[in-house]
Amino acid sequence: MNSPEFIILCELLDRDPAFVSGTTLARKLGLSRVAVWMHMGKLRAQGFEFEAVRNHGYRIRRPPGALNPLLVQAYLRPRRQPVDLLWLPDIDSTNAEAERQLAAARPTPFVVLAQRQSRGRGRFGRVWHSAGPGDLYASFVFRPRLEPGRMTTFTLWMGASLCDLVAKFCRIQPGLKWPNDLYFQGRKFGGMLTEARVDADQIRDLVFGLGLNVNSPADSLPPALARQATSLSACTGEPVDLNRLTAAIVGCVYSAYEQFVEGSFRDTFADLWNRYDLLRGQAVTLLHGPRQVTGIAGGIDDEGSLLIRSGNGRPQRFSAGEVTLERTEP
Ligand code: BTN
C-alpha cells in the first residue's frame, strides 16, 4: 500500500508548478490537515523543501539532491509494471546485498539502491569508491533462465544501452571502453559488474551492478583516482538530477534486459556498440592473465569478444582481459 508521503509527493508532482491545497491533500488521504502537515514534515526530514502559501497550499520548492526512493518510485509511475526497489542508506555492496536477498528468496526482478557503499566491488577484486551520496550505486537482479553461453554480450549490451541513455539525458557524447567502463573525454565516470550463478546448463540468477559518478565533486575522489575519474556533473558543468536519472536508468535496464532475453537486442546491438566504442582503430594493450597483447582494436565480434590485430596478422579474439589505450605522443 502506498504511504501517505508517497501519495502527497505524487499529488504535488502531478500538479507542479501549481499549488495543491492542504484541504485537497487531506481529502485525498482521508486525514486531517494537521496529519497532512505531519506527513509533510517526514518528507522535509528526507530533504524535500516545500513552498507553503496561505490560501494556495503547497508545492515543491526543491527535491532532495541525494537519492530518494519515494521520488524514484514517483518518476517510475508511467511504467506498466511496478518496480520492486530496495533502498538502503548504507551498505557494504549493493551486489552483496542482492545476493543476500536472493538467498532469502526475494522474487525477481528487483533493484537494490544505496546512498553509500563501504565495500563497493569492482572488477578484478578492486574496490569501487562509493562515498556518495550524490552518486549512483545500483544492482539489478534477474533470473533469466538462459544458457550461460548466451551471456557473453550481456554487459556490453547493457553498457551500450546505458551510454545511449546518458548521451540523451546529459547531452554529452560518452564512450564505452570494452568491456565494462563508461568514459567521457578520457576519464571514467561509470563501471559495470555482472555476477551470475550458474546451474548445470542455465543461469540461475544474475546481478548487474552499476556504479555511476553523478554529482560527486572532483575533490571528493581519492588522489589515486582524481586524474582518471570524472562525474557526470563535471562533464555537463551543472548538477545532474540524480533521482530522475536513476528512474530513467531503471527503465532503461529493465527494457534492455527484456530485449536481451527475447533476442531482439541483436537488431541494434552492433550499431549501438559501434556508436560509442572508444577503442576501435586505437592502439591498445590487453592484459589477460600472463598474456599481454598490443595491437589495433577492431571492434567486437558477435560473441562480444574484442578483436585486436597485431602487425599484419589476422585479428585475435579476446573474451576477457583488461585494456589500456596506448597514448601516442604528439
Ligand atoms: C568496475 O568498473 O570495476 C565495476 C564497478 C562496479 C561498481 C558497482 S557500484 C554498485 C554495484 N555494487 C558493487 O559492489 N559494485 C557495483
Tell the residue nearest (CA) to atom 3 of ligand 1: 122
85: helix, strand or coil: strand
CB 87 within 8 A of CB 6: no
Question: Which helix (H) or strand (E) covers residue 256, if one does?
Answer: helix 242-262
Strands 283-288 and 175-177, bridge-based pairing: unpaired
Ligand 1 binding pocket mutation candidate from 121, 178, 225, 253 (most atoms within 8 A of CB): 121
pTM given for the model:
0.94
The finding on whether 251 has its CB within 6 A of some atom of ligand 1 is no
CB 163 within 8 A of CB 268: no
Query: Residue 264 and residue 285: Cα distance in Å, rounded?
Result: 33
Would you tell me which CATH number, out of the four given (3.40.430.10, 2.30.30.100, 3.40.50.1820, 1.10.540.10), belongs to the domain 283-325? 2.30.30.100
Query: Residue 306 and residue 176: Cα distance in Å, rounded?
Result: 12
Residue (of 167, 153, 147, 140) closest to 302 by Cα position:
153
Query: Across the 330 residues of the chain, what is the mean pLDDT of every consecutive 10-residue run?
Result: 93 96 95 94 97 94 95 93 94 98 97 97 93 93 94 97 98 97 96 94 96 90 86 95 98 98 96 97 94 95 95 89 78
pLDDT score recorded for residue 326: 84
Residue (of 276, 282, 327) closest to 307 by Cα position:
282
CA of 57 to the centre of ligand 1 (A): 43
The finding on whether 137 has its CB within 6 A of some atom of ligand 1 is yes
CB 285 within 8 A of CB 326: yes
Single-letter code of the amino acid located at 125: G
C-alpha cell at 139: 544492482
**CATH superfamily of domain region 69-276:** Bira Bifunctional Protein; Domain 2 (3.30.930.10)
The finding on whether 115 has its CB within 6 A of some atom of ligand 1 is no
Residue (of 17, 114, 65) closest to 240 by Cα position:
65
94: helix, strand or coil: helix
Query: Domain coordinates of the chain in residue numbers?
Result: 4-62, 69-276, 283-325
Query: Residue 125 and residue 308: Cα distance in Å, rounded?
Result: 25
pLDDT score recorded for residue 81: 86
C-alpha cell at 312: 599484419
DSSP letter assigned to residue 278:
S
The finding on whether 126 has its CB within 6 A of some atom of ligand 1 is yes
Ligand 1 binding pocket mutation candidate from 210, 230, 249, 322 (most atoms within 8 A of CB): 210
pLDDT score recorded for residue 200: 83
Residue (of 22, 75, 63, 125) closest to 250 by Cα position:
75
CA of 120 to the centre of ligand 1 (A): 6
Tally of residues, the chain: 330
| 151 class by beta-carbon count within 10 Å (0-12 exposed, 13-18 middle, 19+ buried) | middle
Taking the CA of residue 138 as reference, the ligand 1 atom at the shortest distance is 10
**Peptide bond connecting 144 to the previous residue in cis, omega within 30 degrees of 0:** no
Tell me if 4-62 shares its fold with 69-276: no
CA of 278 to the centre of ligand 1 (A): 20
Taking the CA of residue 123 as reference, the ligand 1 atom at the shortest distance is 3
Q: Any idea which fold 4-62 has?
A: Arc Repressor Mutant, subunit A (1.10.10)
CA of 282 to the centre of ligand 1 (A): 26
Taking the CA of residue 96 as reference, the ligand 1 atom at the shortest distance is 14
CA of 192 to the centre of ligand 1 (A): 6
The finding on whether 159 has its CB within 6 A of some atom of ligand 1 is no
pLDDT score recorded for residue 328: 58
pLDDT score recorded for residue 131: 86
